Amino acid sequence: MYRNYFIIALRNIRRNLSYAFLNVFGLTLGIASCLVIFLIVRNELNYDSFGHKADRTYRVTLHAIDYNSNVSTAIVPTMRVDFPELEQVTQVFYQHEGLIKVGQSIYKEKNYAFADKYLPSVFDYQWIVGDPKTALAEPNTIVLTETMAKKYFGQQNAMGQVINLEKQYNLKVTGVIKDIPGNTSLPFNFLVSLETIRKDLSNFFWSIPGGSYAFIVLPQNLAVSRIESKIPAFIKKNWGADIAKAAKLPLQPLKDIHFDQRYINNIVTPTSKETYWVLAGVALLIIVTACINFINLATAQAIKRAKEVGVRKVLGANREQLIGQFLGETTVLVLLAVFMGVVIAAIFLTQADKWLDIKIGAEQLGEGGVIAWIVVLTVVVILLSGLYPAFVQSAFQPVESLKSKAGISLKGLTLRKSLVVAQFAISQILIVGTIIVAHQMDYFKNKDLGFNKDAIISVGIPDQAKRDVLQQQLTADPGVKDISFSSGAPAYNNSFTSLSAKELGLTKDDVTEVKFIDERYTDMFGLKMLAGNKITKDTLHHVVVNETLMHKLGIRNPQAAIGKKVTLNGNYDAYITGIVQDFQSESKHKQRRACVLMYNPKIFFTASIRIQPAAMHQTIDHIGKIWSAQFHDNVFEYEFLDEHIASLYKQEQKAYTAFGLFSSIAILIGCLGLYGLIAFAASQRTKEVGIRKVLGAPIMSIVGLFTKEFVWLILIAFFIAAPIGYFMMDKWLQNFAYHVNIGATTFLIAIAASFIIALITILQQVIKAALANPVKSLRSE
Amino acid sequence: MIKITDLEKFYRTEEVETIALNKLTIDVKKGEFVAIMGPSGCGKSTLLNILGMLDDPDGGSYVFNGVEVAHFNERKRADLRKHNIGFVFQSFNLIDELTVFENVELPLIYTGVPSSERVKRVEEVLDKMQIMHRRNHYPQQLSGGQQQRVAIARAVVNKPKLILADEPTGNLDSSNGNDVMELLTDLNEHGTTIIMVTHSEHDARYSHRIIRLLDGQTVMENIMI
């Protein structure tokens, strides 16, 4: 019997190739998308879960004024003594880039860390060679990841080789580990033993170098609250009551790091779990859309199968057998789609790193958990798309279905229309979502920045003594329009200080961003002065403050702030000589901070260079040559300011790309179904169209006949989609301190897009039906 | 074998009620060959559908092989039908996606006959109907006469006690029509009861008895000599 079902399923596919193609293609896209989204969501939600101690591992953080993931380098050694009950305490000093020299080759490497010998026992790295217990115990040792070992030494044995770091340390390779998974909050290419720099580490509580992290591992069955409750006493004992009052050391679960957006100074920008749940929701919508297609096309086609059902019933088939048969046919189509979906997903994953900035190997598709998920998905899709059509078709009465083709009325029309409405609503929600995310992305990168970001590159200055020569040489290049030295361009915030203003009643030290800038900075970046003067040379005790700081000082009128005294870093008095309009110095996720601008040429680590738009590449090449001639032991690197700003929204960009891509797929799948449905409707109404034409109906009225129904369906869908879309996206926008407002235009675009997409989809079929020769269509009846 | 008494069937729409069978009473004995004739709309097909348990009556009694079946549910009717009744239609009603062999095999699948037995029985009946050489063809590849032979083969493969034929020659030329009637006569002579609806006096002459219907009632019965 099953053989018979299988045979008839294959023959039916062959006979109705276009129908099968629409179904299988839609399902294939749906299943491939679902698989990719599943892997993305799994990857993100399982961040930092790869170690077997992950559930017991916590990051020791600092909460003084802000939530800071960096802590003093003094914390770990002291904790190790004061908390003997902890299974492990480990210290990491993370560096975003470093200069490596192997033989005569120089490399500028990103992401490495100084780590103590305990780190390998906290995280389960896979060691290829070396002893995890001792590899980082001695000074001047280095553990490489496999990729780095191959890069530096090819097929040679890396163990025992010497690598120079930052022209300062000669490090012996004591281990090679497999590349670490992409979903870690502590990504690195190599580890250098912390002992190498031990003498440089401070014991001062408030000395918090960027990149200083501390991790602890709790023993089994010890509640974290037991440790937390002892921390205030621990701070007091080691650093005094004042510090114990001002600072807390929250213990942050390792697995929460990727989703906790309160913290600054994370290595990997945290993201919201919501984003990935929404993405999972998109996957659900995609698969529902594909199943709706299946149901719609199958029930519409059912009329063609009525005679067969009648004959089978006459010959003794019962309803269960017929349901089994139709489900069997669905199974064949779904299995075909699953097979192709897996292949497409595998191909896509090889490119996902490039498109979505997510490292997921295609080999993950072969993992047990993923295979189990594919099986579940397959069964759900078979039941979701097969059950209803199977019930409809098996319910045909033999007497009616054997009478004639026209004798059977097609049931489930209301359901089919409801499903089409659901599909339109899904498309519209996705269109609304994509438009709003696009607006927000544009707003992030281009709107309300408070400074001019165009055609500016940032270049590091490794040696301040050569700055003037560099400036002279660069200014001589006609491709260079302007140049300014500072601690960083407006969108880089890396220096903070404490600020108080006793005369204005601000006695408590408040954290304030500080930017050290030269006299060209204000003009070059187009910062807007609201009162007073710009920063000029040699104005050591003069500062310009931003509006937010002015408001913090309780001053409303910029003019009134001029001449007021503020104290920086607890002991440095300075006078406000100007007020600058707020500018965006970090991402729009957070409220703008108070900011102080001042002149200090010792800290001009960055040159910001505005380039003439014409011949940009040649100019950058030339700048590179001049720069390398001055700093020949270094590697020239530059970053466009607008690219840096975009990098602040990496997670959102990733989500935006994913939403855009998967929304398009969902809409395409919906279009496939609509196309199939209208093709079927056109063929069903051939006779009606023929009669109408014979009676003199113009082509446009025939086109109207088919399209007016869809107009209503789209309108109904819109009234469902608009509030859902608004609610969802409004919630998403609340993640950001600064965001766009959702306007009526978004919804108008969504409904217009729906109409256009539907019209393009159905037009060819409708026109074909309207232009058909009525003589033929009537004769065929 | 069949005894229907005061059988009624109505078709209702919102405004009109049509009486298809009006207190019809008929007896058919085992081994009989009965032809049912009458103008269009007289209730012939309705009667055949009820006799074939494809439809249920609105009133009256239908006793099949000594069992009252008028109020059987669909499952029971289907069960009784697949073991006892074979159908031959005017428009053959073969499944286009199945080959000749597979079409004929279908009733055996639904009655749970094992695969090896099915092959034997299908080949036997195809041989008897002289269409063995067409066993792997699809219905569209056959002539009308050949298609009806396949349909008859399918109707008899389960060795039913009763064959219901609804204008079996209606779509055939006279030569093919005669062949079909010869086949049915042969089956009848080997013990199968046959009830045939027909418009053709010529075909009706193959039967033992003609029942003539008008407006859902018997108006005349002719015994063929």
Tens digits of residue pLDDT in A134-190: 999 999 999 999 999 999 999 999 999 999 998 889 999 999 999 998 889 999 999
In A, which residues are within 8 Å of B54 by CB distance? 313-314, 397-399
Distances (CA, A) of A422 to A378, A670, B162: 22, 10, 51
Rg (CA), chain B: 17
Which residue on chain B is closest to A404 by alpha carbon? B91
Residue A399 phi/psi, 5-degree rounding, is -60, -45
Q: Considering CB atoms only, which of A4, A310, A398 is closest to B109?
A: A4
Which residue on chain A is closest to B56 by alpha carbon? A399
Which residue on chain A is closest to B80 by alpha carbon? A316
The reply to whether residue B54 touches residue A399, judged by beta carbons under 8 angstroms, is yes
The pLDDT-based confidence of A663 (bands split at 50, 70, 90) is confident
- B155 contacts chain A (CB < 8 A): no
For residue B225, what pLDDT is reported?
62
Alpha carbons A474 and A609: distance in angstroms, whole number: 9
Which residue's entry shows tokens 């219907």?
A: B213
For residue A223, what pLDDT is reported?
93
Model pLDDT for residues B37-94, shown as the tens digit of each residue: 999 888 888 899 899 988 889 999 999 999 999 888 878 888 888 889 999 988 888 8
For residue B43, what pLDDT is reported?
86
Task: State percent of chain A over pLDDT 90.
Answer: 43
Mean pLDDT of A677-696: 77
Q: How many Cβ pairs closer than 8 A exist between chain A and B?
A: 63
Largest CA distance in chain A: 102
Checking if the pLDDT of A411 tops 60, the result is: no
Per the prediction, chain A carries an average pLDDT of 87
Mean pLDDT of A322-331: 88
The pLDDT-based confidence of A1 (bands split at 50, 70, 90) is low
- B54 contacts chain A (CB < 8 A): yes
Alpha carbons A521 and A354: distance in angstroms, whole number: 35
The reply to whether residue A15 touches residue B97, judged by beta carbons under 8 angstroms, is yes
The pLDDT-based confidence of A406 (bands split at 50, 70, 90) is very low
The pLDDT-based confidence of A407 (bands split at 50, 70, 90) is very low
Q: Considering CB atoms only, which of A1, A7, A318 is closest to B78?
A: A318
Q: Which of A104-113, A208-217, A759-768 has the lowest mean pLDDT?
A: A759-768
- Cα dihedral A291, A294, A296, A300 in deg (nearest 10): -170
In B, which residues are within 8 Å of A7 by CB distance? 98, 102
Any residues with CB less than 8 A from the CB of A124 and at least 6 apart, and which?
A50, A51, A52, A53
Distances (CA, A) of A471 to A401, A476, A492: 89, 9, 21
**Closest-CA distance of chain B to residue A180, Å:** 56
In A69-167, DSSP assigns E strands to 88-102, 105-115, 127-130, 141-145, 162-165
For residue A543, what pLDDT is reported?
93
- A17 contacts chain B (CB < 8 A): no
- B106 contacts chain A (CB < 8 A): yes
Distances (CA, A) of A160 to A114, A140, A141, A174: 18, 12, 9, 6
Which ranges constitute the DSSP H helices of A562-649? Answer: 616-630, 641-647
Nearest to A202 by CA among A72, A292, A85: A72
For residue A413, what pLDDT is reported?
64
The reply to whether residue A313 touches residue B78, judged by beta carbons under 8 angstroms, is yes
For residue B61, what pLDDT is reported?
94
Mean pLDDT of A537-560: 89
Cα dihedral sign, A670-A675-A676-A677: positive
For residue A203, what pLDDT is reported?
75
Which residue on chain B is closest to A397 by alpha carbon? B54
For residue B163, what pLDDT is reported?
93
For residue A758, what pLDDT is reported?
86
Residue A371 CB: number of other CB atoms within 10 A? 12
The pLDDT-based confidence of A724 (bands split at 50, 70, 90) is very high
- B109 contacts chain A (CB < 8 A): yes
Any residues with CB less than 8 A from the CB of A446 and at least 6 apart, and which?
none
Q: Which helix (H) or strand (E) holds B6?
A: strand B2-12
The reply to whether residue A316 touches residue B49, judged by beta carbons under 8 angstroms, is no
Give the A window 312-331 contacts with B, CB below 8 Å: 312-319, 321
The reply to whether residue A7 touches residue B94, judged by beta carbons under 8 angstroms, is no
The pLDDT-based confidence of A409 (bands split at 50, 70, 90) is low
Rg (CA), chain A: 33
Which residue's entry shows tokens 């204000």?
A: A522
Q: Considering CB atoms only, which of A1, A311, A318 is closest to B109?
A: A1
- A178 contacts chain B (CB < 8 A): no
Q: Considering CB atoms only, which of A8, A313, A319 is closest to B98?
A: A8
Alpha carbons B46 and B41: distance in angstroms, whole number: 9
The pLDDT-based confidence of B222 (bands split at 50, 70, 90) is confident
Alpha carbons B71 and B58: distance in angstroms, whole number: 9
Beta strands A529-532 and A542-546, pairing class = unpaired
Pairwise pLDDT comparison (A224 vs A678), residue with the higher score: A224
The reply to whether residue A7 touches residue B78, judged by beta carbons under 8 angstroms, is no
The reply to whether residue B102 touches residue A321, judged by beta carbons under 8 angstroms, is no
- B126 contacts chain A (CB < 8 A): no
Question: Which strand ranges, in their side-by-side order, compose the sheet holding B59-64?
Answer: B17-28, B2-12, B59-64, B67-68
Residue B159 phi/psi, 5-degree rounding, is 50, 60
Pairwise pLDDT comparison (A402 vs B59), residue with the higher score: B59
- B132 contacts chain A (CB < 8 A): no
Q: Which of A10-19, A52-61, A123-132, A342-351 has the lowest mean pLDDT?
A: A10-19
What totals of helices (H) and strands (E) does chain B contain, helices first?
A: 7, 10
What secondary structure letter does DSSP report for B29? -
- A305 contacts chain B (CB < 8 A): no
Q: Considering CB atoms only, which of A11, A15, A321 is closest to B110?
A: A321
In A, which residues are within 8 Å of B102 by CB distance? 4, 7
Checking if the pLDDT of A510 tops 80, the result is: no
Q: Among B98, B99, B115, B166, which would you mutate to test the A interface (most chain A Cβ atoms within 10 Å of its Cβ)?
A: B98
Alpha carbons A143 and A328: distance in angstroms, whole number: 56
For residue B195, what pLDDT is reported?
95
| Per-residue tokens: B122 | 């299908």
Which residue on chain B is closest to A395 by alpha carbon? B74
The reply to whether residue A317 touches residue B110, judged by beta carbons under 8 angstroms, is yes
Q: Considering CB atoms only, which of B93, B95, B107 is closest to A316?
A: B107
Which ranges constitute the DSSP H helices of A128-198? Answer: 146-153
- B52 contacts chain A (CB < 8 A): yes
Buried b or exposed e, range B1-13, using 16+ CB within 10 angstroms:
bbbbeebebeeee
The reply to whether residue A316 touches residue B98, judged by beta carbons under 8 angstroms, is no
Residue A351 CB: number of other CB atoms within 10 A? 9
Nearest to A143 by CA among A189, A77, A94: A189
Checking if the pLDDT of A8 tops 80, the result is: no
For residue A412, what pLDDT is reported?
57
Residue A538 phi/psi, 5-degree rounding, is 55, 35
Q: Among B89, B106, B156, which would you mutate to test the A interface (most chain A Cβ atoms within 10 Å of its Cβ)?
A: B106
Angle in degrees, CA A301, A306, A310, rounded to 5? 160
Pairwise pLDDT comparison (A266 vs B208), residue with the higher score: B208
Q: Among A314, A325, A329, A403, which would you mutate to test the B interface (most chain B Cβ atoms within 10 Å of its Cβ)?
A: A314
- A307 contacts chain B (CB < 8 A): yes
Checking if the pLDDT of A268 tops 90, the result is: no
In B, which residues are within 8 Å of A2 by CB distance? none
The reply to whether residue B49 touches residue A399, judged by beta carbons under 8 angstroms, is yes
Pairwise pLDDT comparison (A353 vs A252), residue with the higher score: A252
For residue A761, what pLDDT is reported?
84
